[in-house]
A and B are shown apart, each in its own frame.
Chain A
Amino acid sequence: MRTTILGLLTAALLAAGVGTAAAHHSFAPFNMESEKTITGTVKKFDWTNPHTWIWLDVTNEKGVVETWGIEGMSPNYLARRGWSKNSLKFGDKVTIVIRPMRDGSPGGMFVKATLADGRELRPTGQAVD
């Protein structure tokens, strides 16, 4: 199993008891041992509680466009860590690392995103005043 800095950070956060996504629900639907990278076009960005949702159109190996749903932290939490409702826009080309759904459906938990201009979005980090 590959150990990533993010994995270690997640483990550290969990150990510290600062459950991020865990505050509202468990990680049970996601395969937390696994990472998957998907690239596509933003169809919609739900800046909503209790979680943000990125809907990403991804062309699969058969050439068919599938819409993936990616769950992120709440807008409340992310807004205090540099995000806004405009962090992702319709039509943005973006590569997103996720913890995929255990049942194989097109979805997962947000880990990080890289935009076409190289900008990175992460859900964690020091809160800003």
Chain B
Amino acid sequence: MRRASSFLAASAATILTITALGGTAVAQTPGRTAPTATDWAALAKLPDFSGVWEISMGGGGGGRGRGLPQGPSLTPEAAARRKQLQSLGREDSQTANCLPPGMPGIMGQPYPMEFLLTPGKVTIVIEAYMQVRHIYTDGRPLPEDPDPKFHGTSIGRWEGDTLVVDTIGFSPLTELASNVPHGGKMRILERFRLTGPDTMSIETTITDPDVLTAPYTTTRVLGRHRSWTIAEYVCQENNRNFVDEKGKAGINLENPSGVPAK
């Protein structure tokens, strides 16, 4: 009985607190309230990111975070590690086995992507490896101790016409750049903005105190193709490439879909 009354008292206090906070209670639990007509209408005032976008020829790219004109400035330890990895003569990475590259490499693929703007969120649909990035723009903070993920955990905000995306918490299976494993504190800041009627710039700045001696910034230019649609990309559909544990790359020429290869 005593416990029950103290529970009731606590509940009443909670209700009073919530009532007192009023609208701010919404900000404390982002994503927990239904978007309103005003929230949907507000999207119309944002820059038009609609359509399908692909890195333009010569616009910077390359899989797995490489193909960038100047490499990252590495700490002596990270430089030694890269040299060691290079000396192993690995011919290929796990993407040959259909493992997606994760961040930042997934943003440099020769395949298009699409941006979906909904209240409190930007979703990037990436054709390569059929990947999706979830960017929360509802004011929530980044988590203190996120689980490591291929795409990390992202929040975004609009600075004028620029979408600024902050991402932390990456899987050890992703690389900062070719033969450069990232540290636990890698952080990626991306700035998306329209630079013309059908062009977009994505400026990417990577910081990683365990690996980099300076922020590593690269810029990619994307072109819009309004008539395109995002196509299917099931990597395991007919993957004949592989890389073994020692990093040796190979190709399976056997049995083409039931037709025996000589």
Residues of A within 8 A of B (CB): 16-20, 22-26, 28-29, 43-44, 46, 48-51, 53, 55, 65-67, 69, 71, 74-77, 79-80, 101, 105-107, 126-127, 129
| Residue B175, interface by CB 8 Å | no
Partner of B233 from A22, A49, A101, A105 at Cβ < 8 Å: A49
Q: Are B96 and A24 in contact (CB under 8 A)?
A: yes
Q: Which of B80-88, B113-121, B150-158, B238-246 contacts A (4 or more CB under 8 A)?
A: B238-246
Q: Are B240 and A53 in contact (CB under 8 A)?
A: yes
Partner of B256 from A25, A69, A76 at Cβ < 8 Å: A69
Q: Are A50 and B60 in contact (CB under 8 A)?
A: no
| Residue B37, interface by CB 8 Å | no
Partner of A106 from B62, B109, B110, B262 at Cβ < 8 Å: B262
Partner of A22 from B62, B226, B256 at Cβ < 8 Å: B62
Provide the residues of chain B in CB contact with A46, threshold 8 Å.
238, 256-257
Chain B interface, DSSP helix/strand/loop, else mixed? loop
Q: Which of B45-88 touch A at CB < 8 Å?
A: 54-55, 57-63, 66-69
Q: Are B127 and A17 in contact (CB under 8 A)?
A: no
Q: How far is the CB of A98 from chain B (nearest CB, A)?
A: 12
By beta carbon, the residue of chain A nearest B105 is A23
Provide the residues of chain A in CB contact with B260, threshold 8 Å.
67
Q: Are B110 and A129 in contact (CB under 8 A)?
A: no
By beta carbon, the residue of chain B nearest A30 is B251
Interchain CA distance A77-B232 in the complex, whole Å: 11
Q: Are A76 and B127 in contact (CB under 8 A)?
A: yes
